[in-house]
Amino acid sequence: MTIYSQVNFLLKLIHQLIIQFIINIIFKASKRLYLQRNIKQQRTYKKQSLLLPLKFNAELDFVNQLAYDEYVVYLLEHGFFEQEAFIRYVRYLNYFARPEYARFLRNARSVFYLERLTDETFRRNLAVQITIGEGSVAEEHTYCNFLDYCQQQSQVSQNYFEAKERAVEQGE
């Protein structure tokens, strides 16, 4: 091997080492930058993931409260139905009408009020019923619910006694 070929070989080797060194530096820098970005994203995600259950539970509680007539009357009496921000919020909460979210609700009446409260005429008619009516709408609904419950219980009792009579007759 001549000196020229040895120098050429050494230059190529140095060239490759320098290129590998530069690539290594660039890779480490990009990896560090990626990790920094990823950590920031993870922190943001953790904050959001901590807040999402709280937000969902607050929204769920609000929608569940709509099943109670007293709460709807309270909202009406305190002027919430006239606030555009409140109406937008109720429209936003309409996602609870979808089956994947409705399963969390305790009462189907919540969805009824949730859908109806976005309707201007319903809100107006509800206000008229409450202010003009002799008793409050809440009391009337509660009484009707009580009557429905009594009717259901009497039907259950009647079915029970009929089944008992049939069992006694078949046993004889």
Q: Is 73 among the domain residues?
A: yes
Task: Indicate the pLDDT class of residue 134, thresholds 50, 70 and 90.
Answer: very low
Q: Is 164 among the domain residues?
A: no
Q: Is 87 among the domain residues?
A: yes
The answer to whether the CB of 92 falls within 8 A of the CB of 58 is no
- The per-residue pLDDT for range 1-18, each reduced to its tens digit, is 677 777 777 777 777 777
Q: Is 152 among the domain residues?
A: no
| pLDDT average, residue stretch 125-146 | 60
Cβ partners under 8 Å of residue 126, min gap 6: 72, 76, 81, 137
Q: Is 15 among the domain residues?
A: no
Q: What are phi and psi for residue 64, nearest 5 degrees?
A: -65, -35
Q: Is 19 among the domain residues?
A: no
State yes or no: pLDDT of 92 exceeds 80.
yes
- The per-residue pLDDT for range 24-55, each reduced to its tens digit, is 776 776 777 666 666 666 665 555 555 567 88
d(CA 138, CA 82): 20
d(CA 72, CA 66): 6
Total structural domains within the chain: 1
- The per-residue pLDDT for range 100-117, each reduced to its tens digit, is 888 888 888 888 888 888
The DSSP output letter for 96 is G
| pLDDT average, residue stretch 153-168 | 70
Q: Is 78 among the domain residues?
A: yes
Q: Is 167 among the domain residues?
A: no
State yes or no: pLDDT of 60 exceeds 80.
yes
CATH number at residue 60: 1.10.10.1340
Closest CA to 93 of 68, 63, 130: 63
Its pTM surpasses 0.85: no
Domain that holds residue 66: 53-133
Q: Report DSSP letters for 51-82, one per residue.
A: HHHHHHHHHHHHHHHTTSHHHHHHHHHTTGGG
| pLDDT average, residue stretch 70-95 | 88
Percent of the chain exceeding pLDDT 70 equals: 64
Task: Indicate the pLDDT class of residue 153, thresholds 50, 70 and 90.
Answer: low
